[in-house]
A and B are shown apart, each in its own frame.
Chain A
Amino acid sequence: MHHRLDALLPLAGAILFVMLWWLLALSGVIDPVLMPAPQDAAVALWKGFADGTLTHDFWQTVWRTVLSFVIATAIGVPLGIALGSSSRVYAAVEFVIDFFRSTPASALFPMFLVIFGVGEKTKIAVAAFGAALVILFNVAYGVMNAKKTRQAAAHVMGAGRLRIMVDVTLWESLPQTFVGMRSGISLALVIVIVAEMFIGSTDGLGQRVINAQMVFDMPLMYAAIFAAGALGYGLNLLFLVIERRFVHWGGK
């Protein structure tokens, strides 16, 4: 009986959170205009998806995030493999990459605006740039830390350098590559949301959040925030599932 309740534990926190929110809204300590009751936000969420406005924003954000991620992966994975397979090249560029990876991507918006202009391109370019660096770093790390014993085993069994790379090193780097892709898509989502808020957007969850705030439609603002949160959580979960499926041997 104890164990059956344990399975419900993760729900307890969520219920507690909504209860606290509800009580706080009910108490009237905070102006109801600023903080609507949870059921109002839920209704706004339902309506937003029912009439298609939030649905459209949601898919716009998904589209931008996924596109940025795909570009970032296409750039980050091959570059990461190239960097990781040569410790000298890696040593030469590590500082530059680490520096830009540590630079907040949002600080690069003005620069990208100059290059790509106000529009879709800038949002996607900045998000792809940020995500690509994270992916690149993780792939390079995975390649560099491939088990030497496994490479030696392949060597003894007659595999040449390229063979070892394809048959062993790339597989060895997969777990770390997945970590990079998971961090990369999370970062891409963050950057896309910020870009939608501040870089001339007409749609997207970021734009919806800030628009709702400006017209004081608080239930809608919370609804859009919740949608963005669910999207982030969902993407992370999706990648964990894919990871477990494809890298079932990771860490073993």
Chain B
Amino acid sequence: MTSHSPGSPHITIRGLTKAFAGVPLYDGFNLDFARGRITSIFGPNGCGKSTLINMIAGLMPMDGGQVLFDGKTLRETVIGYVFQNYRDALFPWKRAIDNIAYPLVRAGMDRAAIDARVDELVTSFDIGFDLKRYPYELSGGQQQLVSIMRALAPRPEVLFLDEPFSALDYEMTLSMRDKLQEVFHATGVTMILVSHDLEEAVYLADHVLMLTRRPTRIAEVIDFGAPRPRTSATLSEPGFVRAKAHALDVFQREVRRAP
């Protein structure tokens, strides 16, 4: 019987194996993701950060191994996924509001329940733009916000975010980080965030998963326990600076290591 307290293992990965063109990327990889925490994944280029979450989310086949969510398979689990490229991930033929409702329609909810859930999301996100618009009529940040709302609509157990802010400008990135923290505070959903920005990876995370070059292993898991909500002031606090410096050390050590 698994414990459901925050911090207990939520996703367990055992013996994960994946090779590309005969070159092993993951070979007997084991990992637990903590429940109700934000875990960010950081590592050298080509270590397979996105590949890892894509395999967990069922977007890419594994060669071998097992991934369980509280002992359940992916099929039995509701997940959400926010893609890096919101422009290619939203459905431009649907209005923003219908994009958000899509996973609910797929789940077979009736119209009234869908409307109620969408209203609830709109209220909690406190958005200041018209959701009757089409995605291409919205700014990049607004589109990614719609993506996040769409991913959260079916109340997922786990939310995957693949470099969600990398296509946004810095100003928008800062406000989106705040938004994401609010969402996390309100829902407590387990989040797994792939980031290529070390500052962001540490700032948002409870745990920073540092990966090695391929064949990929865990270099280190760095815990960052600063209280939430974190603000721009967090970025200059000693605890953050230390955690980030340590993460950078681990990263550079792994980058220099001969492949």
Near A by CB (< 8 A), chain B positions 15-68 give: 57-59
Contact A252 B92 (CB under 8 A): yes
**Among all A-B residue pairs, the 4 with the closest Cβ atoms:** A249-B92, A252-B136, A157-B103, A149-B88
Q: Mark A171-205, 1 if CB is under 8 A from B, else 0.
A: 10010000000000000000000000000000000
Contact B81 A158 (CB under 8 A): no
B89 partner, pick from A153, A158, A171, A248, beta carbons under 8 A = A153
Q: How far is the CA of A159 from the CA of B81 in the complex (A)?
A: 14
A153 partner, pick from B58, B83, B135, B154, beta carbons under 8 A = B83
Q: Mark A152-172, 1 if CB is under 8 A from B, else 0.
A: 111111110001000110010
A244 within 8 Å of B by Cβ? no
Residues of A within 8 A of B (CB): 147, 149-150, 152-159, 163, 167-168, 171, 174, 248-249, 252
B85 within 8 Å of A by Cβ? yes
Contact A149 B89 (CB under 8 A): yes
Q: How far is the CA of A114 from the CA of B154 in the complex (A)?
A: 61
Q: How far is the CA of A147 from the CA of B134 in the complex (A)?
A: 18
B-side contacts of A157, CB under 8 Å: 102-103, 106, 150, 154
Q: Mark B69-94, 1 if CB is under 8 A from A, else 0.
A: 00000000001110101011111110
B107 within 8 Å of A by Cβ? yes
Q: How far is the CA of A247 from the CA of B233 in the complex (A)?
A: 46
Give chain A nearest CB distance to B213 CB in angstroms: 26
Contact B134 A155 (CB under 8 A): no
A171 partner, pick from B81, B83, B91, B107, beta carbons under 8 A = B91
Closest to B80 in A: A156
Q: How far is the CA of A252 from the CA of B143 in the complex (A)?
A: 12
Q: How far is the CA of A199 from the CA of B93 in the complex (A)?
A: 45
Contact B136 A152 (CB under 8 A): no
A-side contacts of B87, CB under 8 Å: 252
Q: Can you name 17 extra interface pairs (CB under 8 A) apart from A149-B85, A156-B80?
A: A149-B89, A150-B88, A150-B89, A150-B91, A152-B59, A152-B89, A153-B81, A156-B58, A157-B106, A158-B103, A158-B106, A158-B107, A168-B91, A249-B135, A249-B136, A252-B92, A252-B135
Contact A149 B83 (CB under 8 A): yes
Give chain A nearest CB distance to B198 CB in angstroms: 25
B-side contacts of A147, CB under 8 Å: 88
18 sample A-B contacts, Cβ–Cβ < 8 Å, listed by A number:
A149-B88, A150-B91, A152-B81, A153-B83, A153-B89, A153-B90, A154-B102, A155-B59, A156-B58, A156-B59, A157-B154, A158-B154, A163-B106, A171-B93, A174-B93, A248-B134, A249-B134, A252-B87
